[in-house]
Structure 1
């Protein structure tokens, strides 16, 4: 009999005061810190409350970020090695040690993230894939270049390769590994890296027009709130 996947979320956070520096032209340091705390809190609550997620590991070098994560029920891991992908590998090892048979990397900068959106995404992946077969699930960014969500099952089926051109790198790794590659769209294609992204999140642009055919619904009415919907493999949490 096939065993159900045990999915742990991994949230990387460099630091509350050092994250999202590319928003500098749009926000001053105090505004950026407030936004980072709100985004981190929303992401931690989303992974905590998602029925399909068994636990959360937040990896950070910032004691204040670790304190925030612990208050919201996450396991915290002090980042020892430099670089995002090294931090994700450390967090992956911790999640596996705690029983994870799948992981989902969830950055803090997705304005539409909540428990319903994550549950809908994981349900869609489960409906397309097989619990018995290696699977890599990806939500690309709205530009079709980066990776907003990465779901490897088992966790070590591919290594994280975030950075410039990460979508192509993750696709290539998934294909080379022989895993079933699943790509999904929807509101989680929107991330907030720049002032232009803030405008999109605040409703200045419809991300569905930039995220590829099949994406339904809006990403968020504002950076500080969001609602799930959407699909490229048909995610619909309405």
Structure 2
């Protein structure tokens, strides 16, 4: 008899429509930014839904956001990204999963196998996928048992901060490096990684 596979849910934080990617305002107008945000979100949701290791996909966002592709929408409690994620963890519907995988919504090359890799780490592991600069965090996989006490540090320097937080709990840290996980879209220089996939957004 084989052990039952752990249940993993993906949490994807996304700003309310019209509020995302303000740092691209100098090169994309509001409509183009909105199209790009939605195209990248669709890519990330589809990658999560295509992973056999992820049972449920949740969007942490404005409650008016569409419930597209069967994703569960959990209301953004406000206060910024990290407080919103901490509140979302506490608001997840029962029964709780064994593991949660927090994934950035702006990863245009993300694939299902990359998320499966993040979701299927050992139970004593916290997996962190840094951005292309090795500074930020684009995905974070951790056991749900510690999630309510885990302090999220998404933003500048979050990779090191999340690593320190994982070690504080006594967990092994695995750094996940792959093209789809590391290439987020924040600055105008990053747009080359999105143009080939989302020409309709430009």
Give the TM interval when normalised to the shorter protein. Answer: 0.7 to 0.9
Match of 2:190 among 197, 222, 226: 197
Q: 1:89 to 1:114 in 2, by over 3 A?
A: same
RMSD: 2.0
Instruction: Identify the residue that residue 131 of structure 2 maps to in structure 1.
Output: 141
Deviations for 1:115-149, whole angstroms, at most 9, x for unmatched residues? Answer: 233224434xx3xxx33x2x210010110110011
1:122 aligns with 2:119: yes
SS in 2 for 1:97: coil
SS in 2 for 1:4: coil
TM-score, length-normalised on structure 2?
0.87
In 2, Cα distance between equivalents of 1:190 and 1:179: 26
SS in 1 for 2:9: strand
Number of matched residues?
A: 195
Match of 1:89 among 75, 86, 91: 86
Q: Which has the higher strand share?
A: 2
TM-score, length-normalised on structure 1?
0.75
**Contact 1:198–1:223 (Cα < 8 Å) also in 2:** no
Instruction: Identify the residue that residue 30 of structure 2 maps to in structure 1.
Output: 29
**Contact 2:131–2:183 (Cα < 8 Å) also in 1:** yes
Match of 2:154 among 151, 162, 186: 162
Instruction: Identify the residue that residue 56 of structure 2 maps to in structure 1.
Output: 55
In 2, Cα distance between equivalents of 1:25 and 1:98: 45
In 1, Cα distance between equivalents of 2:145 and 2:24: 32
**Contact 1:60–1:77 (Cα < 8 Å) also in 2:** yes
Deviations for 1:53-80, whole angstroms, at most 9, x for unmatched residues? Answer: 01011111251xx21xx13101111122
**Contact 1:145–1:168 (Cα < 8 Å) also in 2:** yes
Q: CA deviation at 1:199?
A: 2.3
Give unpaired runs (5+ residues) of structure 1. Answer: 203-221, 226-238
Give unpaired runs (5+ residues) of structure 2. Answer: none
